Amino acid sequence: MKITLCGVRGSIAVPGPDTVRYGGNTTCIHVEGKDGTQLIIDGGTGIRALGERLLAAGPLACSIFITHTHWDHIQGLPFFVPFFLPGNQVDIYGAYDPIYGKDLKTILAQQMEYCYFPVRESELKAKISYNHVTERQPVKIGSLTVTPLLVNHPVYNFGYRIEEDGKVFFFTGDYEPPYNIYEPADEDYEDYQRLIVQQKKTLVDFIRGADVVVADTQYTLAEYASRKGWGHGTYDSSIEMARMAAVKSMYFTHHDPNRTDDQLDAIFSQLQSRQDLPATRFAVAREGEIIEL
């Protein structure tokens, strides 16, 4: 399994001199199986260049798994060149939105209506299928097995576990560890706390011993204080996840759009000096980085 990080920025693309080293494109991950299976997680702006690269090998057959439909995870899809060419097959997987009652095709097609984009979804030339995934129900894509898990974010949102030959890769998607909305003196505090403990255990058990985890790590603890409930993790919460699940390697991703390369280096340097880190190998996700399992 070969994993390429094609977009590691959160919220909005931020090209420019301050983001050259780690990249300014929003979320997109390319996974290639040993049999040549082409799988993509999320269609942030990083998918544009990936599409051009994949077309170089000829007609494309690939699967795209969407964690959730916030803009920074789908805004690159209208610029995915394989959609526009006949002979390509693209199978898209994701969630049916039970809150708004919209299926995946409806949500993705809406951002290609004429008021937003000059080419409608119905005008695309590739053969496109839309498939809804169910939590914990594996999907076999060539040599890869993809299993979704619902994770905490302000929309219906999946993390994806991908397995091949006993190797495990997990992407959290956007993930904020759940917290208790009640005060300790409130009547419902204890019941809600038990639910939180169970939710965290479910995730830890799901990824236990994973070879590689790419984790939403947008904020420092100081920043998180004013952004609680926005749906993103911190360096400390990601480190704690790695510790509890005995993760072998973890990459911090979904970098805050205001974070420069130098600031990312400074944060990571400070983390490396900590004495309480688990045995996990930590790294800052970098656009274009290739991870082989």
Beta bridge partners of 158: 150
pLDDT for the residue 157: 95
What is the token pair recorded at 88?
């390509």
Query: Domain extents for the chain?
Result: 2-292
pLDDT at position 99 is: 84
Query: pLDDT value at position 100?
Result: 86
Instruction: Indicate the residue type of 35.
Output: D
219: phi then psi, degrees, rounded to nearest 5: -120, 155
Per-residue pLDDT at 98 = 87
Residues 263-283: tens digit of each pLDDT: 999 999 999 999 999 999 999
Task: Give just the sign of the alpha carbon dihedral 48, 37, 170, 181.
Answer: positive
- Give me the residues of the chain with pLDDT under 70, please: none
What lies within 8 Å, CB to CB, of 5 at 6+ separation is 29, 214, 251, 253, 285, 286, 287, 288, 289, 290, 291
Helix or strand holding residue 263 (H, E)? helix 261-272
Let me know if 170 is exposed, middle or buried by CB neighbors in 10 A (0-12, 13-18, 19+): buried
| CATH hierarchy code of domain 2-292 | 3.60.15.10
Predicted local confidence at residue 125, as pLDDT:
96
| Nearest alpha-carbon partner for 202 in 151, 141, 248 | 151
Q: Taking the C-alpha atoms of 64, 102, 135 and 26 in order, what is their torsion angle to the nearest 10 degrees?
A: 40
